């Protein structure tokens, strides 16, 4: 809130000053834009406040905006200079730009070399998973996880940047699998609980001699002799995680639902109770099918005092119904969805995702921005014509 307050005060002061300094709406716009994007990294660097994730990365937007401000701020004074001085200044700027271009070219030539991605461990791992573990959620580490979706449609536990993750508890679970305990034995036990809780049927381990860049595992050998080894190449191993079913929907007792977010990787008492219910062969199985990206269909036999746990991140944009009857969707302590279908015997649940108010708001905002891009230039042209 302090960071936002700094931005708001500065914006108000700059707006008041710009109104007196220039009537050029383009310069006003780019000055306000430069202040807005520049304030994010500057406040983080010098005032140690932030209201956006990774604020230092906004320095690229700041550089882009400052260049526009300089162009529109200096164009009127530049036009008043004598021709000879304007020409020499342009030559100086061109020479400086040429030096920068040459530097960037040398850097790009060193890093952007042609290569066969089929020879990389990222591609080879992804191709094997696609061919042998289709329909099974897999936990993949580091660069393997971030490149996998470019090579194959793999159902991953993770796979994107942590800063974009909707479920912070799921991110805590990934860290638990990377380093869940001080010893390999304890690490393996904790990791296995988290993997099962999030429906992972396999886990990829990158060892210290692998070509995977990050190598995030504290004990890369912790699953040796514990889980079945499916594949190994270049110090990258794929282990099978035992599951009663590969489905991400499960019928469990209501008391087995995790109710409190785990405080740490080792805070696994509720997770252990939940995993025991997942492994219980006496509970009826539930099938789950994705029908596109925004619809899930679940079929299960449900009894009283039973819930359906869905190992998909909760979002208020998900809505469930049994037949024509709406059913509330709840969030558990792992950030996943669960519901009580309130039916006895065979039951079919349909979940639809509409994004909730957030997506609707952003959609309306996008339409307004598109309309402004069309209407504002037309308005300016109309005023000029009348003048």
In this structure, are 272 and 334 located in the same domain? yes
Last residue of a domain, one of 57, 80, 103: 80
Say how far apart CA 184 and CA 225 lie, in whole Å. Answer: 12
Render pLDDT for 89-117 as a digit per residue (tens, 0 to 9).
999 999 999 999 999 999 999 888 888 99
Say how far apart CA 196 and CA 311 lie, in whole Å. Answer: 10
In this structure, are 208 and 131 located in the same domain? yes
Tell me whether residue 124 is in a domain: yes
Say how far apart CA 33 and CA 58 lie, in whole Å. Answer: 12
- Answer whether residue 64 shows pLDDT above 80: yes
- Answer whether residue 352 shows pLDDT above 80: yes
Across 47-70, average pLDDT: 92
Helices (H), 217-297: 269-278
Q: What's the pLDDT score for residue 114?
A: 85
In this structure, are 142 and 235 located in the same domain? yes
Tell me whether residue 67 is in a domain: yes
Render pLDDT for 274-315 as a digit per residue (tens, 0 to 9).
999 999 999 999 999 999 999 999 999 998 889 999 999 999
In this structure, are 154 and 218 located in the same domain? yes
Provide the CATH number for the domain around residue 229. Answer: 3.40.50
In this structure, are 320 and 385 located in the same domain? no
- Answer whether residue 159 shows pLDDT above 90: no
Residues facing 339 on adjacent strands: 308
Tell me whether residue 125 is in a domain: yes
Tell me whether residue 97 is in a domain: no
Q: What's the pLDDT score for residue 164?
A: 80
Q: Is the pTM of this model over 0.85?
A: no
Q: What's the domain count of the chain?
A: 4
Say how far apart CA 308 and CA 312 lie, in whole Å. Answer: 12
In this structure, are 199 and 164 located in the same domain? yes
Last residue of a domain, one of 240, 275, 307: 240
Above pLDDT 90, what percent of the chain?
A: 85
Across 153-182, average pLDDT: 91
Contact by Cβ (8 Å): 130, 241: no
In this structure, are 188 and 213 located in the same domain? yes
Render pLDDT for 231-269 as a digit per residue (tens, 0 to 9).
999 999 999 999 999 999 999 999 999 999 999 989 999
In this structure, are 63 and 136 located in the same domain? no
In this structure, are 386 and 336 located in the same domain? no
Tell me whether residue 104 is in a domain: no
Mean pLDDT of the chain: 94
162 or 86: whose pLDDT is higher? 86
In this structure, are 268 and 337 located in the same domain? yes
In this structure, are 363 and 345 located in the same domain? no
Say how far apart CA 245 and CA 278 lie, in whole Å. Answer: 9
Tell me whether residue 282 is in a domain: yes
Domain of residue 334, residue span: 249-354
- Answer whether residue 163 shows pLDDT above 80: no
In this structure, are 333 and 373 located in the same domain? no
Contact by Cβ (8 Å): 272, 246: no
Q: How confident is the model at residue 354 (pLDDT cuts 50, 70, 90)?
A: very high
Tell me whether residue 110 is in a domain: no
Across 365-377, average pLDDT: 94
Tell me whether residue 29 is in a domain: yes
Q: How confident is the model at residue 386 (pLDDT cuts 50, 70, 90)?
A: confident
The owner of tokens 């000879």 is: 84
- Helix/strand/coil for 292: coil
Q: How many CB atoms lie within 10 A of CB 354?
A: 13
Burial of 364 (0-12, 13-18, 19+ CB in 10 A): exposed
Last residue of a domain, one of 80, 111, 132: 80
Render pLDDT for 336-351 as a digit per residue (tens, 0 to 9).
999 999 888 999 999 9
């Amino acid at each position: 809130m302090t960071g936002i307050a700094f931005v708001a005060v500065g914006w108000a002061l700059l707006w008041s000053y710009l109104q007196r300094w220039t009537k050029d709406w383009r310069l006003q716009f780019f000055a306000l834009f430069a202040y807005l994007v520049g304030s994010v990294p500057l406040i983080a660097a010098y005032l140690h406040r932030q209201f956006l994730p990774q604020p230092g990365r906004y320095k690229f937007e700041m550089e882009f905006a400052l260049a526009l401000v300089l162009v529109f701020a200096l164009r009127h004074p530049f036009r008043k200079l004598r021709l000879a001085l304007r020409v020499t200044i342009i030559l100086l700027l061109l020479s400086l730009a040429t030096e920068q271009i040459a530097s960037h070219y040398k850097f790009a030539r060193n890093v952007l070399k042609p290569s066969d991605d089929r020879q990389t461990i990222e591609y080879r791992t992804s191709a094997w998973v696609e061919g042998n573990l289709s329909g099974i959620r897999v936990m993949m580490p580091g660069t393997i996880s971030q490149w996998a979706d470019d090579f194959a449609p793999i159902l991953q536990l993770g796979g994107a940047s942590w800063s974009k993750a909707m479920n912070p508890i799921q991110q805590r679970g990934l860290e638990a699998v990377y380093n869940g305990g001080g010893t390999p034995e304890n690490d393996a036990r904790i990791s296995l609980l988290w993997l099962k809780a999030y429906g992972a049927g396999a886990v990829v381990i990158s060892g210290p001699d692998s070509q995977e860049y990050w190598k995030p595992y504290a004990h890369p050998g912790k699953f040796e002799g514990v889980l079945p080894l499916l594949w190994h190449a270049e110090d990258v191993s794929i282990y099978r995680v035992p599951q009663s079913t590969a489905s991400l929907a499960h019928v469990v007792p209501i008391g087995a639902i995790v109710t409190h977010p785990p405080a740490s990787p080792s805070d696994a008492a509720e997770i252990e109770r939940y995993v025991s219910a997942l492994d219980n062969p006496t509970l009826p199985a539930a099938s789950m099918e994705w029908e596109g990206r925004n619809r899930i269909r679940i079929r299960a036999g449900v009894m009283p005092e039973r819930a359906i746990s869905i190992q998909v991140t909760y979002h208020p944009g998900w809505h469930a119904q049994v037949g024509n009857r709406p059913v509330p969707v709840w969030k558990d302590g792992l950030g996943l969805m669960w519901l009580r279908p309130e039916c006895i015997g065979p039951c079919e649940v349909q979940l639809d995702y509409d994004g909730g108010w957030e997506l609707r708001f952003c959609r309306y905002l996008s339409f307004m921005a598109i309309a402004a891009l069309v209407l504002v230039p037309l308005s300016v042209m109309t005023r000029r014509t009348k003048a």
